[in-house]
């Protein structure tokens, strides 16, 4: 188990380093941020002086080393617009995004698990076909469209929920449902196919032959083995939920790190963007590490094979 954890940690470090290099390179390809920071009538000497002040006159490897060495100490530099440490800005906006992501994940599980198990137990029935239609419709539904429709119905017409903002549990309802509806279809299909496959195994037939109740067979024996691919995909989909949070936060004016990142990309505020990308990457790979450990605990053959 120790070797398995060490190997996963090494992979985590390699992934974060690769993402930091990629994001650093892409940001510098986008253009010269000094052109946005200074007025158009500024002289050439002023442009050069400002580039030197920001360290943009150095070769790219030197700039990356400065960024990476500072990031290891928790110093991502100051925002070029807010003149505030980038790390502080991102941390202030991180909790709303994390809360929204986990709320969306919870909504997805509350929808997908019961519907997936029900569809597997009622295979090829009306219930199964209805669940399949809901899954296909959910996958085809754009996040921004669903968010706008929820605002029109529940905020504008019914006036039951706030249209935007952050603070109370009511502000979580529509954004979390929007994110959850994005993840629920694929999760439901995985639960359905996993339970159907496990129910055809010999040990399930043996458990039924011993007289165990159907609920015990499904919950204790079938679902435990069927949930391994579901947990793995949820870990992978966590990153997509963070990506979907960008659209969701924009629609609902949610003050999260995704909105901050989009604004910083538009302004070419390199320190804030790099800090946000690295921290989000750390969260995603940490979640995937936890998922790998959970799967390894559920099925020891996985960690032995690794």
* pLDDT tens for each residue of 92-107: 888 888 888 888 888 8
* pLDDT tens for each residue of 147-180: 899 999 998 988 888 888 887 888 889 999 988 8
**Is 108 within a domain?**
yes
Partner residues linked to 265 by β-bridges: none
Please report, for the domain that includes residue 191, its CATH number: 1.10.3720.10
The mean predicted confidence, pLDDT, of the chain is 80
Partner residues linked to 78 by β-bridges: 85
Partner residues linked to 85 by β-bridges: 78
**Is 47 within a domain?**
no
Task: Return the structure tokens found at 247.
Answer: 């659209």
Looking from the CA of 162 toward its CB, the CA atoms found within 13 Å total 12
pLDDT at position 52 over 70: yes
**Is 103 within a domain?**
yes
**Is 52 within a domain?**
no
Q: 191: domain range?
A: 86-305
**Is 91 within a domain?**
yes
* pLDDT tens for each residue of 223-262: 767 777 777 777 777 777 777 777 888 888 888 888 888 8
CA dist., res. 242 & res. 238, Å (int): 6
**Is 254 within a domain?**
yes
**Is 36 within a domain?**
no
Count structural domains, the chain. Answer: 1
Q: How far is CA 66 from the centre of its chain?
A: 28
Length of the chain: 306
**Is 102 within a domain?**
yes
* Rg over CA atoms, the chain: 24
Residue 4 — very low, low, confident or very high, per pLDDT cuts 50/70/90?
low
CA dist., res. 70 & res. 64, Å (int): 10
């Amino acid at each position: 188990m120790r070797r398995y954890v060490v190997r996963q940690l090494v992979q985590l470090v390699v992934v974060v380093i690769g993402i930091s290099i990629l994001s650093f390179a892409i940001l510098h390809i986008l253009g010269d941020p000094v052109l946005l920071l200074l007025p158009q009538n500024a002289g050439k000497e002023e442009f050069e002086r400002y580039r030197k002040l920001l360290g943009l006159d150095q070769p790219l490897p030197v700039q990356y080393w400065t960024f990476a060495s500072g990031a290891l100490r928790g110093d991502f530099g100051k925002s070029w617009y807010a003149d505030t440490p980038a790390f502080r800005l991102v941390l202030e906006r991180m909790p709303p995004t994390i809360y929204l992501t986990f709320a969306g994940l919870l909504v997805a599980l509350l929808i997908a698990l019961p519907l997936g198990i029900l569809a597997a137990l009622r295979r090829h029935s009306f219930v199964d076909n209805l669940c399949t239609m809901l899954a296909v419709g959910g996958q085809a539904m754009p996040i921004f469209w669903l968010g706008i429709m929820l605002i029109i119905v529940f905020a504008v017409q019914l006036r039951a929920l706030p249209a935007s903002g952050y603070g109370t549990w009511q502000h979580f309802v529509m954004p979390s449902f929007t994110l959850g509806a994005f993840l629920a279809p694929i999760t439901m299909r995985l639960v359905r196919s996993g339970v159907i496959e496990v129910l055809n195994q010999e040990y399930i037939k043996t458990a039924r032959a011993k007289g165990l109740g159907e609920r015990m067979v499904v919950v204790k024996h079938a679902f435990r083995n069927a949930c391994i691919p579901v947990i793995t995909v949820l870990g992978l989909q966590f990153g997509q939920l963070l990506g979907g949070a960008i659209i969701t936060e924009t629609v609902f004016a949610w003050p999260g790190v995704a909105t901050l990142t989009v604004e910083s990309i538009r302004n070419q505020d390199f320190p804030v963007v790099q800090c946000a990308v690295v921290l989000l990457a750390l969260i995603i790979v940490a979640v995937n590490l936890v998922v790998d450990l959970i799967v390894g605990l559920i099925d020891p053959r996985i960690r032995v094979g690794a």
